[in-house]
Amino acid sequence: MSDQTKPRIGVYVCHCGMNIAPKVNVEDVAAHAGTLAHVVVARDYKFMCSNPGQDMIINDIKSLGLNRVVVASCSPRMHEKTFRNAVKSAGLNPYYFQMANVREQVSWVTHDSMDATEKAKALTAAAVSRVFFHQPLSTREVPVIKSMLVVGGGIAGMQSALTCANAGYQVYLVEREPSIGGHMAKFDKTFPTLDCAACIMTPKMVDVLQHPNITLHTYSEVEKVEGFIGNFQVTVKKKPRYVDMEKCTGCGTCMEKCPSKKISSEFNEGLSFRTAIFTPFPQAVPNVPVIDAVNCIVLGKNKKCGACAKFCETKAIDFEQKPEFLTLDVGAIIAATGFQAVNPTHLEPYGYGRFPEVYTSLEFERLNNATGPTSGKMVMKNGQIPERVAIVHCVGSRDVRHKKYCSRVCCMYSMKFAHLLREKTGAEVWEFYIDVRSPGKLYEEFYNRVQEEGVRFVRGRVAEITDMTDDPNDKGRLTVVAESTLTRRTVRLPVDMVILSVGLEPAPGAEDLGRLLGVSRDGDGWFTELHAKLAPVSTPMNGIFLAGCCQGPKDIPDTVAQAMGAAGEAIALLSRGMVTTQAEISHIDPDLCIGCKSCIGACAYSAIGFDEARRVAVVNEALCKGCGSCAATCPSSSASVDHFTDRQIMGELERLV
Amino acid sequence: MSEYKPKIVALVCNWCTYTAADLAGTSRLSYPAEIRMIRLMCTGMIDQKYILKAFLDGADGVFIGGCHPGDCHYIDGNIKAEKRIGGTRNLLSQFGFEPDRLALQWIGASEGPEFQHNMTAFVERITALGPSQVADRMIL
Amino acid sequence: MRICFYPGCSYASTAGYKESTEAVCQKLGIELVVIPDWNCCGATVMFGENKLRATALAARHFALTQAMGFEEIVTGCNACYATLGKAARLLNEDAELFIKTKDVLQALGLTLDRIPKIRHLFEILTKAMPDAPSERYRSLSVGAYYGCQLTRPHQFLDKGGYPEILETFLERIGFAVTDHSARTQCCGASHAVIYKDECRNLSARIIREISDKGAQIITTICPLCQFNLDQAQTGDLTPRIPVTYFTQLAGLALGLSATSLGMNKLLVSAEKVISRP
């Protein structure tokens, strides 16, 4: 040991109320720890994390001259920080501390009390053995760049951006579509209050565009993310719009003149057409069209046209535009990439794609929308008003063959559809559900309301939607086949229109963004938050936060609340102004390094350079993340990660078995 | 006469398998007490010598738990670990020891039940193999 | 080409499936080597009864096939196809079941080391049939009926809900096809024996759908389907429309006579429809 002072170790075994004791005989564990080499004091206490518990440690450090501390309690992911702070406040380097996890790994998962006690003893002894080799480490404070990036311009991203911008920080909002607005821009009414989505949405979109602190990059995607909390460098690709944003006045003449008029409109879910030069919808922000290079006669087919350019008075059309790459320096990043609706084509028994009167919920949103293909008239493809409509819940959700989870919003929007159908058309509406899930403010009341409005509810998953009819009078209609589990009968219901309430799945590209950000995704593809309950907007990557559906299905109120929460976390970071760098980073001992450069190849962050003069590898501390790939690769044991050195790990190993 | 209880060391990544173990804990999913875990930042930092050290200290099995491919917190530390551990398994068998005493599994942060299942299965596997001869033979 | 053929219980007793299969195979140069001493496949019933017994019953053929030196078993019945396929899948997945099954077979003096591939006769004929050998039936509208077990529960051959392989096949060999929605509707299957009236309604619905959509003739791929659909027309629930096997249509395309394809055994005669399509 390089230390002059002899190790004097204090061991503290926590009861955690009734969580560790009595399964683990804590007195026994403490007594055993007391017999270990260099242990000066070993105690047990009801709650080590409480103030008296921490004071016990602090007092012992001061009065007994402890210079190492071990706490056997819960997971270090829970309280390592707490105890490090306690150790620090007693004047000791916080890294002279080690935790043994005897709750999550022992008392909660072990049947036998004797076994649990033995295991707790071993884990505590291993921690004592490890802490012996601990070294004092220091961290640095580095300034935080006072700007932030929001990825995704739906309601979540917009809300996060506005909140941060209102707090006075510079915000870059990156959206891959030509306009911000996301899914909410497609809706007409929102449940359960039935307020007009456009009325609450469009002003927000304009706010985002006009806010002095927000820089909007639409039709752009994140390409690369480097750096660390407080200091990210993000490369953004601006896809060519082929329209000069400065010159365009948004007059729309180009769209009138474009001869390629039969392109399926993404915004209207394929229910109408758009031109090759287009804005997704009339209220688009920014109100600058883009040219769809695939369908454009000039760009896609390499033929003569240029009608748009000919008629553009400001000469804004630029067929030569190339992708542009920007580098943004930001202190924090919020991912708000949202969701996509499940495409039900592969659920063949529902006949989507085969029967024209089978719609997805998003298609129906467009049918219902005043700016949609039918100007808000709920009519069938033949122009007639449906007399009877079936709404099928849980399409693709709550199904082991597709998505196991509940998509959370479908029951409510299905009932919204039912209400609007009753109101606008007077049609008979049948909801086929498994369970109606309406937990939310005024949601259950809305469920009651639509029942009172005469909407029929059949409890049973729909087996099939078919154009086979038993009664010749129903020819041309669809038949919904389901088992009504309450009446235990098979229902064969002739209807005019079917709406599939499709579930939500992560937006395409979430996987790539997750990789760029280093944010992991759960089994269903949603971004994983740091803690399900206590850190729902944070991620394990410091400085990166989550807002909206990219973290899991949620409705608009929850999305907005979470977006504000993520903004709050980002603001807290930016206003703190400084971040502490990680202490656990790699070092290469130049005396041991043989200059083989294995570590350079192993480092995923290009954090190791080579000093040609001394023929040794050198770690760039600002880039190192402390993963230890270099240490495991190094043939001469010259590379090691602080706080995870060979001696420390070997020390722990020695007492474990 | 007591029944044989193997000694097992688990070297796990902080970001997924350790978190899965915490989740198994909070969900009260019990597994054999023979599992003794060491938390590392990444499976990519696992040096062969830690594994050999564990066997030499008397471990009957070594379990390594990392993030699923593509989910590594440090981009690809888990993939490096997979390759390195393949080498260690070869090393074990070259010296006449059962390579099955060393296992590598991907267990994601949300996979508490998978963690429990893997631990139980690994203890069963090692129990079936019986006490390891590594430590004894090395002394010779 | 020689194939190892498992006929199943209804192959020989139905309206010309045996005759048409043999005639078509002969014409195409396919030799059907029938598994000697074959037994019941167990159908859907046995698996509900006892997994090991059901598996062993099916696996007996796997051992016999192995002894014959074949790697594949071909069957023309959807139920046999599904049952043998299920047994093969279980044996491939479950090592313990494999060992137990081997033991059972050993007691019968049979050896089982490898699991053969289970193929449907349809797959064999799809490969072997030439493109439109005749243009004679180009305007004959065929409604293809798959039944339940060809694509479900395992979607080996095509997607479960709305398969299209039969249509593709029929168009290729020279027929017109009718798009309809009864492709995989339940015909009542073996329940037709006990719940006669209920099943007749089920079959009648299928016939009405296919006939309403404009088909002149129905083709099936499973013995029980053919039987149920054919006999459902003996009452007055449905229009009359002949129900054939896909092998019979393949035979017609190849220029074979209706009688040689056993079509004289159909309850609803196809004579008119095929004589002037």
Tally of domains in chain C: 2
Same domain, yes or no, for C117 and C136?
no
Determine the Cα–Cα distance for residues A480 and A492; give it in Å rounded to an integer: 6
Residue (of A550, A492, A490) closest to A519 by Cα position: A550
Confidence at residue C152, expressed as pLDDT on a 0 to 100 scale: 83
The DSSP H or E segment spanning A120 is helix A113-131
- The pair of three-digit structure tokens given for residue A31, joined into one six-digit string: 């007594």
Indicate the residue of C159, C160, C162 with minimum beta-carbon distance to A354.
Answer: C162
A/C touch flag: 3 or more CB pairs below 8 Å: yes
Q: How would residue A315 be classed by pLDDT, with cut points 50, 70 and 90?
A: very high
Give the mean model confidence (pLDDT) for residues C178-201.
90
Same domain, yes or no, for C268 and C142?
yes
B74 and A627 within 8 Å at the Cβ level: the answer is yes
C-chain residue closest to A352, CA distance:
C162
A657 and B58 within 8 Å at the Cβ level: the answer is yes
Q: Where are the domains of chain A?
A: 2-131, 141-239+323-338+509-575, 241-319, 342-505, 586-641
C161 and A470 within 8 Å at the Cβ level: the answer is no
A520 and B71 within 8 Å at the Cβ level: the answer is yes
Give the mean model confidence (pLDDT) for residues A10-17.
97
Confidence at residue C227, expressed as pLDDT on a 0 to 100 scale: 92
Determine the Cα–Cα distance for residues C11 and C18; give it in Å rounded to an integer: 6
Confidence at residue B84, expressed as pLDDT on a 0 to 100 scale: 94
Q: How would residue B2 be classed by pLDDT, with cut points 50, 70 and 90?
A: low
Determine the Cα–Cα distance for residues A12 and A45; give it in Å rounded to an integer: 7
| Alpha helix positions (H), chain C | 17-28, 43-49, 51-68, 78-93, 95-107, 121-128, 165-172, 196-212, 223-231, 246-253, 271-275
Confidence at residue A1, expressed as pLDDT on a 0 to 100 scale: 42
pLDDT in tens, A201-239: 999 999 999 999 999 999 999 999 988 899 999 999 999
Q: By percentage, how much of chain A surpasses pLDDT 70?
A: 99
How wide is the angle at C-alpha A649 spanned by C-alphas A647 and A651, nearest 5°? 65
- A586-641 adopts what CATH topology? Alpha-Beta Plaits (3.30.70)
Residue A312 above 50 pLDDT? yes
Q: By percentage, how much of chain C surpasses pLDDT 70?
A: 99
pLDDT in tens, C213-222: 999 999 999 9
Residue C14 above 90 pLDDT? no
The DSSP H or E segment spanning C2 is strand C2-6
Confidence at residue B139, expressed as pLDDT on a 0 to 100 scale: 59
Confidence at residue A250, expressed as pLDDT on a 0 to 100 scale: 93
| Domain of C165, in residue numbers | 131-275
**Interface list for chain C against chain A, based on CB atoms closer than 8 Å:** 159-162, 181-182, 185, 205, 209, 212
Residue A380 above 60 pLDDT? yes
Amino acid at the residue A370: A
Determine the Cα–Cα distance for residues A192 and A618; give it in Å rounded to an integer: 60
B/C touch flag: 3 or more CB pairs below 8 Å: no
Edge-to-edge order in the sheet of strand A428-433? A358-360, A497-502, A388-395, A428-433, A456-459
A-chain residue closest to C153, CA distance:
A401
**Residue B1, exposed/middle/buried by CB under 10 A (0-12, 13-18, 19+)?**
exposed
Answer yes or no: are the C-beta atoms of C229 and C14 closer than 8 Å.
Answer: no
pTM of the prediction? 0.81
Answer yes or no: are the C-beta atoms of A525 and A504 closer than 8 Å.
Answer: no
Q: What CATH homologous superfamily does A141-239+323-338+509-575 map to?
A: FAD/NAD(P)-binding domain (3.50.50.60)
Determine the Cα–Cα distance for residues A60 and C50; give it in Å rounded to an integer: 68
Confidence at residue A2, expressed as pLDDT on a 0 to 100 scale: 43
Which of A41-45, A244-248, A577-581, C42-46 is predicted least confidently? C42-46
pLDDT in tens, A551-562: 999 999 999 999
Answer yes or no: are the C-beta atoms of A648 and A134 closer than 8 Å.
Answer: yes
The owner of tokens 């609803």 is C268
Stronger pLDDT, B139 or C132, i.e. the higher one: C132
Give the mean model confidence (pLDDT) for residues A302-325.
95
Q: What's C151's domain CATH number? A: 3.40.50.11810
Answer yes or no: are the C-beta atoms of B51 and B95 closer than 8 Å.
Answer: no
**Final residue belonging to a domain, choices C98, C122, C146:** C122
Confidence at residue C277, expressed as pLDDT on a 0 to 100 scale: 52
Stronger pLDDT, B60 or B72, i.e. the higher one: B60
pLDDT in tens, A590-649: 999 999 999 999 998 888 999 999 999 999 887 788 999 999 999 999 999 999 999 999
Give the mean model confidence (pLDDT) for residues A466-494.
94
A467 and C181 within 8 Å at the Cβ level: the answer is yes
Determine the Cα–Cα distance for residues B95 and B74; give it in Å rounded to an integer: 33
Confidence at residue A79, expressed as pLDDT on a 0 to 100 scale: 94
Residue B75 backbone zone (phi > 0: left; psi -120 to 50: alpha; other: beta)? left
Residue (of A517, A516, A503, A518) closest to A549 by Cα position: A503
Stronger pLDDT, A228 or B63, i.e. the higher one: B63
Query: Is A586-641 in the same CATH topology as A2-131?
Result: no
- Averaged pLDDT of chain A: 95
Highest mean pLDDT of the ranges A63-72, A531-540, C190-199? A63-72
Q: Where are the domains of chain B?
A: 8-137
Same domain, yes or no, for C135 and C269?
yes
Determine the Cα–Cα distance for residues C48 and C86; give it in Å rounded to an integer: 13
Residue A186 above 50 pLDDT? yes
Contacts of B61 in chain A (CB under 8 A): none
How wide is the angle at C-alpha A478 spanned by C-alphas A475 and A479, nearest 5°? 105
A468 and C162 within 8 Å at the Cβ level: the answer is no
Confidence at residue C155, expressed as pLDDT on a 0 to 100 scale: 75
Same domain, yes or no, for C136 and C268?
yes
Query: E-strand spans in A90-209?
Result: 97-101, 141-143, 147-151, 170-174, 189-190, 195-196
**Residue C193, exposed/middle/buried by CB under 10 A (0-12, 13-18, 19+)?**
exposed
Contacts of C161 in chain A (CB under 8 A): 347-349, 464
Residue B32 above 70 pLDDT? yes
Q: By percentage, how much of chain B surpasses pLDDT 70?
A: 96
Give the mean model confidence (pLDDT) for residues B33-46.
96
Q: Which CATH architecture fits B8-137?
A: 3-Layer(aba) Sandwich (3.40)
Query: E-strand spans in A485-606?
Result: 489-495, 497-502, 504-506, 544-546, 578-580, 586-588
| Distances in whole angstroms, Cα of residue B28 to Cα of each of B19, B21, B121, C233 | 14, 10, 18, 62
Give the mean model confidence (pLDDT) for residues C185-209.
90
Residues in chain A, total: 657
The DSSP H or E segment spanning A347 is none
A-chain residue closest to B73, CA distance:
A518
Confidence at residue A439, expressed as pLDDT on a 0 to 100 scale: 94
Determine the Cα–Cα distance for residues A74 and C184; give it in Å rounded to an integer: 57
Indicate the residue of C159, C161, C205 with minimum beta-carbon distance to A470.
Answer: C205
Residue (of A256, A250, A288) closest to A275 by Cα position: A256
Give the mean model confidence (pLDDT) for residues C68-72.
95
Determine the Cα–Cα distance for residues A509 and A515; give it in Å rounded to an integer: 10
Confidence at residue A383, expressed as pLDDT on a 0 to 100 scale: 95
For every residue of C124-144, DSSP letters joined together read HHHHHSPS-S-STTTT-EEEE
Give the mean model confidence (pLDDT) for residues A577-585.
90
C-chain residue closest to A479, CA distance:
C181
Taking domain A2-131, whether its CATH number is 3.30.9 is answered by: no
Q: To the nearest whole angstrom, how far is the Cα of B94 from the nearest Cα of chain A?
A: 20
Residues in chain B, total: 140
Give the mean model confidence (pLDDT) for residues A161-187.
97
Q: To the nearest whole angstrom, how far is the Cα of A506 from the nearest Cα of chain C?
A: 25
Residues β-bridged to residue A324: A238
Q: How would residue A57 be classed by pLDDT, with cut points 50, 70 and 90?
A: very high
The DSSP H or E segment spanning B134 is helix B134-139
Answer yes or no: are the C-beta atoms of A593 and A610 closer than 8 Å.
Answer: no
Same domain, yes or no, for C94 and C153?
no
pLDDT in tens, C25-55: 999 999 999 999 999 998 878 888 899 999 9
- Averaged pLDDT of chain C: 93
Residue B138 above 80 pLDDT? no
Determine the Cα–Cα distance for residues A435 and A459; give it in Å rounded to an integer: 7
Same domain, yes or no, for C193 and C99?
no
Residue (of B87, B41, B89) closest to B66 by Cα position: B41
Same domain, yes or no, for C71 and C154?
no
Q: How many CB atoms lie within 10 A of CB C271?
A: 11
Q: To the nearest whole angstrom, how far is the Cα of B135 from the nearest Cα of chain A?
A: 12
Using only C-alpha atoms, what is the Rg of chain B?
15
Confidence at residue B1, expressed as pLDDT on a 0 to 100 scale: 37
For every residue of B18-62, DSSP letters joined together read HHHHHHHHHTT----TTEEEEEES-GGG--HHHHHHHHHTT-SEE
Answer yes or no: are the C-beta atoms of C132 and C249 closer than 8 Å.
Answer: no
**Phi, psi at residue A151, to the nearest 5°?**
-105, 115
Residue C43 backbone zone (phi > 0: left; psi -120 to 50: alpha; other: beta)? left
- A342-505 adopts what CATH topology? FAD/NAD(P)-binding domain (3.50.50)
Give the mean model confidence (pLDDT) for residues A83-111.
96
Determine the Cα–Cα distance for residues B32 and A112; give it in Å rounded to an integer: 9
